[in-house]
Amino acid sequence: MSKLQDVAVLGAGPAGMAAAVRLRALGVPVALIDEQPAPGGQIWRNVEGNENTAVGKALGSDYAAGAAAAAALNESGCVLRFGNQLWQLEDAQPEAKWRVFVKAGGGLDMLPASAVLLAGGAQERPNPFPGWTLPGVVSVGAAQILMKTAGQIPEEPVWIAGSGPLPLLYMTQLLALGGKIAGYLDTSPRGNLAAALPHLPRALAAWKDLRKGLGWLQTLRRSGVPVVKDVAEIAAAGNDRLESLTYRPRGSKAVTVPARLLLVHEGVVPGIHVTMAMGCAHDWRDDQVCFAPRLDGWGETSRAGLYVAGDGAGIGGAEAARLRGEIAALGIACKLGKLSEAEARQLAAPLRRALDRALAPRRFLDALYRPRPEVFAPAEETVVCRCEEVTAGQIRRAAGKGGPNQLKAFTRAGMGPCQGRQCGYTVSHLLAHSLNSSAAEVGFFHVRPPLKPVTLGELATLEIEEATP
C-alpha cells in the first residue's frame, strides 16, 4: 500500500499534467499515474525523447510544445508513477474515500486518495470493415505512435483510409520524414460540408487551428499523393496478412489494388471504461456520436470526488484538455479546502474564457468529419468483436433478445480481453438499427473490473492494511 496522496491523477497527457502541476502549486499532494514510461499522453508521446531529433522536427511545433509541459511536471514535486496500469477503482468510505489499484512491474499496488481525476483521454473510434483484423491493417493513431516512439515508418508506399484531422496530420509528418503514400482514401461523406457550414462562423474564432488544417491539405495536394474522395466502403483481403485493398467511392464502382499495409482512422471517442465501471451517469453526445460522462462545471462526475478532464470528458483537443485539467484542479482544491469558492471561481474565469475559444471549432469539425453511416452498419460477414470473432450478422440475428448485456451473453461479443473497447459502440448501433431505436436509447455494455488483466500471482502481491474494527 502506498502513502495517502490527496489526489490521484490518472493519465499524464495535457489534462493530467496541467491538473497535477496546478494542484501541487496550490499545496495539494498529488500522485500522477500513467501506463506509459514517460509523460506526454498520446499527443505528446515520447516528447522528451524526441527533443532536437529529426523525428521531433518532422512532428512539428505543436508536438514540441509538450516538452515544456513535461518539464513543468518534472519540477512540480508530484509523485510520478509511470508504467502503472489502473485495473480497479473503489470507493472506500469513510476513511480515505478512494482506493486506486494499479498494476506495475509484475506486482500490484493500492493508492489511497481523497479525490481522483481521470485524465485517460480518448481512443480511436471502432472501425469495423471486412478484413480489419488482418496483420497489415493498423490504425493511423498506432502508426503515429510508432513514429513518435521508435521513429518507425511504413516500409513501402502506404494506403491510408479515413476521416478527420489525424490522417492529414500523420500524412504531413510522414512526408516530412521521407515516407511514401500510395493514396489517401478520404471517407468523410461529401454531404458533411453542408451540415458543417452553419458552424463555420463560430469556428473562425479559432482561425489558427483552421489554418493549420488547411496547411495539411495543401501539403497533401502539393505532394501529388492520389486522393480519392467520399469513399463509402473499404475491405481488406489476404491470406494471413493484407494482400489487397478494395475501396468503393459513393455512387461508383469498387476498385481493388495490391496493398501490404493499410492505415485506418474514423475519429476518436472519449475513453469511458473507467467511468462506466464506476457507474457514473453518462449522456449521449449526438454531435460526436459517442457517450461522455455527465460532469459539473468543475469536471466532477455523478460520483462525488471522482473527476474527469481532457478528451475523456468529450473530444476537444490538447488545448481544451489542458484548460479542463486546470479547471478540475481548482475545483478539487476548493473541495479539499485549499481555496475558497470565490477564489476558485475567480481563478477559473479566464480559463473558462480560454476553453470557450479552444472549443470554438468543435461543432464545425465534428459535423465536417461526422463518420459515414457504413461505420455503424458493417456487412453481415464483418467481424465486429475482434476478440471473440463475432460477426455483424450474428449480432443482428441475436438482436431482439435484449439489450447489449444480454447480447453479450448470447454471442460473447465484448467478452474477450479488450472488454468491448473495440466493439461496444458497433454493438449498440447494430442493436439500435435492428430494434428501430437509437444508440443513445440502447446504451452500452456494463463494464466490470478488472479493467486490465491481472494474474493470480499479481493479486497475491497485493498488501492492504485493513483498519481493525
State yes or no: residue 29 binds other proteins (CB under 8 A): no
State yes or no: residue 139 binds other proteins (CB under 8 A): yes
Instruction: Give the closest residue to 45 by CA, choosing from 66, 31, 60.
Output: 66
Q: Which among 63-71, 211-219, 249-257, 410-418 is the span making contact with other proteins, rule CB under 8 A?
A: 410-418
Taking the complex as a whole, the smallest distance from the CB of residue 450 to other proteins amounts, in Å, to 13
Taking the C-alpha atoms of residue 384 and residue 239, their distance in angstroms, rounded to an integer, is 19
Taking the complex as a whole, the smallest distance from the CB of residue 172 to other proteins amounts, in Å, to 17
State yes or no: residue 461 binds other proteins (CB under 8 A): no
Q: Which CA distances in Å does 438 have to 372, 428, 431, 433?
A: 16, 8, 8, 7
Among 21, 23, 30, 55, binds other proteins (CB under 8 A): 55
Give 125's DSSP letter: P
State yes or no: residue 237 binds other proteins (CB under 8 A): no
Taking the complex as a whole, the smallest distance from the CB of residue 139 to other proteins amounts, in Å, to 5
State yes or no: residue 142 binds other proteins (CB under 8 A): yes
Taking the complex as a whole, the smallest distance from the CB of residue 69 to other proteins amounts, in Å, to 19
Among 60, 151, 157, 213, binds other proteins (CB under 8 A): 151
Q: Which lies closer to other proteins via its Cβ, residue 269 or residue 339?
A: 269
Q: Which lies closer to other proteins via its Cβ, residue 4 or residue 138?
A: 138
Taking the complex as a whole, the smallest distance from the CB of residue 338 to other proteins amounts, in Å, to 33
Question: Which residues fall within 8 angstroms of residue 435, CB to CB, at 6 or more apart?
Answer: 399, 400, 442
Among 113, 387, 398, 432, binds other proteins (CB under 8 A): 387
Q: Which lies closer to other proteins via its Cβ, residue 215 or residue 453?
A: 453
State yes or no: residue 53 binds other proteins (CB under 8 A): yes
State yes or no: residue 350 binds other proteins (CB under 8 A): no
State yes or no: residue 319 binds other proteins (CB under 8 A): no
Q: Which among 4-12, 204-212, 280-288, 383-391 is the span making contact with other proteins, rule CB under 8 A?
A: 383-391
Instruction: Give the closest residue to 7 by CA, choosing from 121, 98, 85, 104.
Output: 98
Give 355's DSSP letter: H
Among 421, 425, 428, 429, binds other proteins (CB under 8 A): 421
State yes or no: residue 240 binds other proteins (CB under 8 A): yes
Contact 113, 98 (CB under 8 A): yes
Question: Which residues fall within 8 angstroms of residue 30, CB to CB, at 6 or more apart?
Answer: 5, 6, 7, 8, 9, 20, 23, 24, 76, 78, 79
State the number of CA atoms in the 13 A half-sphere of 109 facing the CB: 14
Taking the C-alpha atoms of residue 267 and residue 141, their distance in angstroms, rounded to an integer, is 10
State yes or no: residue 176 binds other proteins (CB under 8 A): no
Question: Which residues fall within 8 angstroms of residue 373, CB to CB, at 6 or more apart?
Answer: none
Backbone angles phi, psi at 234, to 5 degrees: -130, 155
Instruction: Give the closest residue to 191 by CA, choosing from 340, 373, 45, 427.
Output: 373
Q: Which CA distances in Å does 307 have to 16, 162, 294, 302?
A: 11, 32, 10, 9
What secondary structure does DSSP assign to 313-380, as a single string?
GS---HHHHHHHHHHHHHHHHHHTTSS-HHHHHHHHHHHHHHHHHHTTTHHHHHHHTPPPGGGGS--T
State yes or no: residue 109 binds other proteins (CB under 8 A): no
Query: In the block, which residue shows the cell 502539393?
Result: 222
Q: Which lies closer to other proteins via its Cβ, residue 201 or residue 457?
A: 457
Q: Which lies closer to other proteins via its Cβ, residue 150 or residue 217?
A: 150
State the number of CA atoms in the 13 A half-sphere of 371 facing the CB: 27
Among 137, 329, 344, 348, binds other proteins (CB under 8 A): 137
Beta bridge partners of 258: 244
State yes or no: residue 266 binds other proteins (CB under 8 A): no
Site string for other proteins, 182-221 (x = CB under 8 A): ----------------------------------------
Backbone φ/ψ region at 279: left (φ over 0), alpha (ψ -120 to 50), beta: left
State yes or no: residue 258 binds other proteins (CB under 8 A): no
Which residues bind to other proteins, rule: CB under 8 A? Answer: 35-37, 42, 49, 53-55, 83, 85, 123-124, 133, 135-139, 141-142, 145-146, 149-155, 177-178, 240-241, 260-261, 271, 386-389, 416-418, 421-422, 452-453, 455
